Amino acid sequence: MPKLLSALPLAEAVRVSFNDGIARIEDLAKPPAFNTVGIIGVGLIGGSFALAMKSAGLCERVIAAGRQQSSLFNAKALGVIDEVVSVEYLAAEADLIFIAVPVKAFASVFKQLIPHLSETAIITDGGSTKYDLMMEARLILGERIGQFVPLHPIAGSHQSGVAAARGDLYEDRKLIITPLAENALADIALLAATWQALGATVYCMDAQIHDRIFAATSHFPHYISAAYMNSLLASEHRELFLAMAGTGFRDFTRIAASSPEMWSDIFFANKEAMLAQLDDFIRQLNEAKVYLQNEQQDKMYEWFNTASSARKNWQLKS
Q: Indicate if 190 and 225 belong to the same structural domain.
A: no
Is the model's pLDDT at 87 over the cut of 90? Answer: yes
Structural domain includes residue 173: yes
Q: Are residues 34 and 78 in the same domain?
A: yes
Question: Is residue 1 included in any domain, yes or no?
Answer: no
Domain count, the chain: 2
Determine the Cα–Cα distance for residues 198 and 172; give it in Å rounded to an integer.
9
Q: Assess whether 12 and 122 both reside in one domain.
A: yes
Question: Are 271 and 147 members of one domain?
Answer: no
pLDDT at residue 111 in the model: 97
Kindly give the residue spans of alpha helices, DSSP state H, lying in the chain. Answer: 10-18, 44-55, 69-77, 87-93, 106-113, 131-141, 185-197, 207-214, 220-233, 238-244, 247-253, 260-269, 271-293, 297-317
pTM of the model: 0.87
58 within 8 A of 31, measured Cβ to Cβ? yes
Asked whether residue 192 falls in the same domain as residue 282, the answer is no
Residue 250 has pLDDT above 70, yes or no: yes
* 67 has pLDDT over 80: yes
Confidence of residue 298 (pLDDT cuts 50, 70, 90): very high
Identify the pLDDT of residue 20.
Answer: 83
Give CA–CA dist 213/33, Å, rounded.
33
- pLDDT of 71 reads 86
pLDDT digit string (tens) for 162-201?
A: 888 889 999 999 999 999 999 999 999 999 999 999 999 9
pLDDT at 162: 84
Whether the predicted pLDDT of 318 surpasses 80 = no
* 181 Cβ contact partners less than 8 Å away, ≥ 6 residues apart: 18
Flag whether 145 is in a domain: yes
> Which domain covers residue 196, as residue numbers?
7-205
Each residue of 198-248: pLDDT tens digit? Answer: 999 999 999 999 999 999 998 999 999 999 999 999 999 999 999 999 999
Beta carbons of 140 and 132 less than 8 angstroms apart: no
Query: Is the pLDDT confidence value at 159 over 80?
Result: no
Q: Mean pLDDT of all residues in the chain?
A: 92
Q: Check: CB of residue 71 under 8 Å from CB of residue 42.
A: yes
CATH number of the CATH domain containing 155: 3.40.50.720
How much is the pLDDT for 158? Answer: 63
pLDDT at site 279 = 95
pLDDT of residue 102: 86
